[in-house]
Structures are given as structure tokens and as C-alpha cells.
């Protein structure tokens, strides 16, 4: 892990509530009076897609109110900094916590306030730069997806850079989100789509590739036809090794069998990401160390993947932050 930890890293696929600090989750779960079954659910690392969503139900039950959202956003950035992440593109689904008087606007404000809290205490030379992506949950109807796009546009000047589609991959239909996603793109927001997380979604994946999002997440299940059009499209993929090995063990039984090798070997742009540190018990440096071991990567290979990840990011390449992050990457090992 040590080389992987020392190298400056870029994280492009991390969900806020899935990346909650485990000690904080434990504390909040206790305060929320979780029962024995729920406590059991959050104790181990998720092993299947349905177990993963059971963990999210428990996390969402425990994480309530703007103050808590603000705290976990700050802690996620602190933990990323400690892990050597220099740029984090965090994503979250804006949810109302009605019993606490928190609406979707307040939710986004709280996350951004957490970013600000972090920035106020971060050391200049170690700081993890952050941007926010708002997620559309596949269970949500078109009106909610439209409202999420509106929110992203409203907070564009304050750090929101794009829209994600995520949530239970067995739910919802692509047609529901096509309109809101098209509007988001036409308004200048970047788009990333979770795709190919379960078997038998080739037609949906085909339509998603035809839409030409800026990035994909996962693509564990990909027909040879879709693979060819993906490669021809050059659309980068966010890859989460531990998450995929744990939840797609039937097709990805080992790290060595992960499709990272296939895409990276071909020169297709890929980023190494965590998905949900808390749910899968990993960190970005751990994921990088796993990639080094499983795919015999050199330190230079990892540096090249990281640099390419920055270019895959939704950050404006002409911005001051982009230039600073690039300088940090080029300076090499940090800790």
C-alpha cells in the first residue's frame, strides 16, 4: 500500500453516503437506535448487489439532517486527503429529510458547506480539491430527475459539475431519464452513467452508449457488440475493483479477472475508483495497491492512469484548480 498511498491520486467515482467514515456511521447508527439486524448489516463488507442496497437503507436511516450531511461531507474530504487524494469528484443523491426540515436544496447546501468547512482547515499544500456531482436515483420519476438537473444548474457556480445516474440497477427505464439528461448536457453539465452492473441489460447499455455520456461507471456486463461500440466511442470508464469483485463475483471472481485488464490493456481510458469506501471496506490507495499487484503495474503505469484520470474529470481544464492539481501530480510522491 505504501507506494500507492504516497502517490497523489484522483478519485472520480465515490458516493457520499457510501464513503461515510465508519466510526461516524457507528456513532450515528447507535444514536438512531438501530436494531440488531441493522447493526449486523453495516458491520461487514457488502457481498452482493442486494446486500449493498440493504447497507444503503441502513446508512440513510442513520444519516439524518443537514448538520450530519455537512459533517460527513467534511469527513470524506479529510479522509481523502489523508489517503493522498488530491482531487475528489464526490457524488450524492439530493434527498429531503422531512422530519428534520431538510429539503433537497438544503441537502445540496449542506454538502457544499461541508466542503467549505474542510477547505477552511486544510493545509494549502496537502489540500484535496473537490467538486460535486448530483445523482439521479433510478427509482425516481422524470419530475425528480428534472428537479435534480435544476439543482445542479443552480449550484453550478458553487462546485456542481455534473449529473450521475445510479441506484438499484434492476429498477427504472432509460427513457425516463433521457429527457432530463439531454437537457443537463445541453446546459453544459457533464454526465456519467452507472451501466452494466447486472446481467441482461445489453439493450439499455446500447442506448446509453448511443447517448454518448462523458463517462461510464462499472460496465461489468458488456456484450461484445457493446464493447466494440464503447471502444470506438472512446468514452472513459470509472472502475471500482473491490466493489465489482464483491458484488459481481459470478462474472468477476478475482481481481485478476476484472475487466480493468481488458480495457487498460487496449489503451481505453479508465480510472481507478472506490465507489463506497465504507460499504466495501477499501480506500483509493488500497484499490491502487490491488491494481499494482493484480495487473503487474509499475509506479509509472499508476502515475499515467492518475494523470489520465484528471483529464477524464469534469473539472474545467483551463481553471486555476486544474493547473494546481496537475502540478501536484507532476511533483510526484507526497508523503
Q: Catalytic amino acids?
A: 197
What is the number of alpha carbons within 13 Å of residue 222 lying toward its C-beta?
Answer: 23
Task: Among 81, 137, 204, 287, indicate the residue that binds ligand 5GP (CB under 6 A).
Answer: 137
Per CB under 6 A, the list member of 25, 66, 80, 93 interacting with ligand 5GP is: 93
x/- letters, 229..268, toward ligand 5GP (CB under 6 A): --------------x-------------------------
List the strands of the sheet with 270-272, edge to edge: 9-15, 85-92, 129-137, 160-166, 190-195, 215-218, 237-239, 270-272
Q: Which of 4, 11, 24, 56 lies at the binding interface for ligand 5GP (CB under 6 A)?
A: 56
Asked if residues 21 and 320 have their Cβ atoms less than 8 Å apart, the reply is: no
Nearer to ligand 5GP, 83 or 276 (CB): 276
Report the residue number, 276 or 287, with the smaller CB distance to ligand 5GP: 276
For ligand 5GP, which residue of 38, 75, 275, 287 counts as binding (CB under 6 A)?
Answer: 275
Nearest approach in angstroms of CB 225 to ligand 5GP is 23
Among 135, 227, 274, 283, binds ligand 5GP (CB under 6 A): 135
Using DSSP, state whether 90 is helix, strand or coil.
Answer: strand
Grid cell digits, residue 88: 475528489
Q: Can you name the residues that pair with 97 across neighbouring β-strands?
A: 102
- The residue among 135 and 306 lying less far from ligand 5GP, judged by its C-beta, is 135
Please pick, from the candidates 79, 83, 89, 276, the single residue that binds ligand 5GP as defined by CB under 6 A: 276
Near ligand 5GP in 197-216, by CB under 6 A? 197
Which residues within the stretch 146-175 sit at the binding site for ligand 5GP (CB under 6 A)?
A: 166-167, 169
Residue 16 engages ligand 5GP in binding (rule: CB under 6 A): yes
Show the beta-strand stretches assigned E in 167-246. 190-195, 215-218, 237-239
With cell 450524492, the residue in question is 92
CA distances from 181 to 107, 170, 205, 218 (A): 21, 19, 15, 19
What Cα–Cα distance (Å) separates residue 256 from each residue in 117, 219, 292, 297, 321? 40, 16, 11, 12, 35
Q: How far is the CB of 36 from ligand 5GP (least distance, A)?
A: 23
| CB half-sphere exposure, 53, CA atoms < 13 A | 11
**Interacting residues toward ligand 5GP by CB under 6 A:** 15-18, 56, 92-93, 135, 137, 166-167, 169, 194, 197, 243, 275-276
Amino acid at each position: 500500500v505504501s507506494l500507492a498511498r504516497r502517490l497523489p491520486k484522483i478519485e472520480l467515482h465515490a458516493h457520499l453516503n457510501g464513503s461515510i467514515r465508519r466510526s461516524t456511521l457507528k456513532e450515528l447508527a447507535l444514536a438512531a437506535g438501530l436494531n440488531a439486524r441493522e447493526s449486523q448489516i453495516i458491520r461487514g463488507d457488502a457481498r452482493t448487489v442486494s446486500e449493498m442496497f440493504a447497507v444503503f437503507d441502513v446508512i440513510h436511516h442513520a444519516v439524518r439532517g443537514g448538520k450530519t450531511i455537512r459533517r460527513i461531507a467534511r469527513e470524506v474530504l479529510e479522509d481523502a486527503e489523508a489517503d493522498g487524494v488530491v482531487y475528489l469528484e464526490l457524488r450524492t443523491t439530493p434527498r429531503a429529510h422531512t422530519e428534520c426540515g431538510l429539503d433537497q436544496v438544503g441537502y445540496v447546501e449542506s454538502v457544499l458547506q461541508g466542503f467549505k468547512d474542510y477547505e477552511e482547515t486544510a493545509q494549502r499544500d496537502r489540500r484535496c480539491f473537490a467538486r460535486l456531482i448530483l445523482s439521479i436515483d433510478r427509482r425516481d420519476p422524470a419530475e425528480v430527475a428534472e428537479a435534480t438537473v435544476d439543482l445542479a444548474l443552480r449550484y453550478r457556480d458553487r462546485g456542481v459539475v455534473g449529473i450521475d445516474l445510479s441506484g438499484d440497477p434492476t429498477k427504472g427505464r432509460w427513457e425516463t431519464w433521457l429527457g432530463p439528461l439531454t437537457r443537463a448536457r445541453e446546459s453544459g453539465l457533464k454526465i456519467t452513467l452507472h451501466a452494466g452492473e447486472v446481467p441482461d441489460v445489453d439493450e439499455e447499455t446500447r442506448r446509453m452508449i448511443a447517448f454518448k455520456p462523458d463517462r461510464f461507471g462499472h460496465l461489468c456486463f458488456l456484450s461484445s457488440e457493446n464493447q466494440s461500440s464503447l471502444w470506438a466511442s472512446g468514452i472513459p470508464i470509472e472502475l471500482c475493483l473491490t466493489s465489482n469483485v464483491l458484488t459481481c463475483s459470478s462474472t468477476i471472481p478475482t481481481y485478476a479477472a476484472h475487466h480493468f485488464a481488458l480495457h487498460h490493456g487496449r489503451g481505453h481510458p479508465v480510472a481507478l475508483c472506490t465507489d463506497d469506501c465504507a460499504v466495501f471496506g477499501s480506500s483509493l490507495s488500497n484499490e491502487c495497491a490491488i491494481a499494482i499487484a493484480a495487473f503487474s503495474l509499475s509506479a509509472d503505469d499508476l502515475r499515467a492512469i492518475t494523470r489520465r484520470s484528471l483529464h477524464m474529470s469534469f473539472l474545467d481544464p483551463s481553471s486555476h484548480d486544474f493547473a494546481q492539481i496537475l502540478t501536484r501530480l507532476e511533483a510526484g510522491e507526497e508523503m
